[in-house]
């Protein structure tokens, strides 16, 4: 009797994404950061109960912080459960923080979270250095997306 083939899990699991990030901003550069989390936050994230839609990143006193990220309280947690939208510290090297600080001192640039995921069992946040789009750029993004959908439909119909 043959044993069933086991699927190898690489430990990567996306918890939350920010789809509005690429719609509202031009992403100039990305960087991966670890986070300081409590045990109940990690358990809640593993259950997929986190959101980064309204979050942003701030550099304060040579440390990086994510503000507005929501991690739901852990259902089996007790009195030591975490606050849902507390400010969380990001783990970055000094040279990375300095580089991000240089980027955001330029007019119009900001730091936004793009994706929240587990990598090798550790919680990671993909941060983007972003510049806001104007209405014309947003319209262009919509037109490109619609034309891509149309081309995909036509290719699909041609194959039938």
Q: What residue spans define the domains of the chain?
A: 13-133
pLDDT digits (tens, 9 = 90+) for 19-37: 888 888 889 999 999 999 9
pLDDT digits (tens, 9 = 90+) for 54-88: 999 999 999 999 999 998 888 787 777 888 888 99
Cα 160 off chain centre by: 38
pLDDT of residue 1: 45
Q: What DSSP character marks residue 152? A: H
The yes-or-no verdict on residue 11 having pLDDT over 80 is no
Q: Which CATH superfamily is domain 13-133 in?
A: Small protein B (2.40.280.10)
Residues 154, 146, 112, 123, CA torsion sign: negative
* SS3 call for 94: helix
- How far apart are alpha carbons 72 and 69 in whole angstroms? 10
pLDDT digits (tens, 9 = 90+) for 104-135: 888 889 999 999 999 998 999 999 999 988 87
Token digits for 122? 């550790």
The yes-or-no verdict on residue 141 having pLDDT over 80 is yes
pLDDT of residue 95: 95
Which residues, 6+ apart, have CB-to-CB distance to 147 below 8 Å? Answer: none
pLDDT of residue 149: 93
- How far apart are alpha carbons 43 and 77 in whole angstroms? 9
Residues 108, 113, 119, 122, CA torsion sign: positive
Residue with tokens 């036509």, as numbered in its chain: 154
Q: Do residues 126 and 104 touch, judged by C-beta distance below 8 A?
A: no
- How far apart are alpha carbons 145 and 150 in whole angstroms? 9
The yes-or-no verdict on residue 3 having pLDDT over 80 is no
């Amino acid at each position: 009797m043959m044993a069933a083939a086991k699927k190898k899990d690489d430990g990567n699991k996306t918890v939350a994404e920010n789809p509005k990030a690429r719609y509202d901003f031009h992403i100039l550069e990305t960087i991966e950061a670890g986070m300081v989390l409590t045990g109940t936050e990690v358990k809640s994230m593993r259950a997929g109960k986190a959101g980064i839609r309204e979050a942003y990143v701030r550099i304060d006193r040579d440390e990086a912080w994510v503000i507005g990220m929501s991690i739901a309280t852990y259902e089996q947690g007790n009195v030591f459960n975490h606050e849902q939208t507390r400010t969380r510290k990001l783990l970055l090297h000094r040279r990375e923080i300095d580089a991000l600080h240089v980027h955001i001192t330029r007019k119009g640039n900001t730091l936004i979270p793009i994706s929240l995921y587990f990598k090798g069992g550790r919680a990671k946040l993909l941060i983007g250095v972003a510049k806001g789009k104007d209405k014309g750029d947003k319209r262009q993004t919509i037109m490109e997306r619609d034309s891509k959908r149309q081309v995909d439909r036509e290719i699909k119909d041609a194959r039938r």
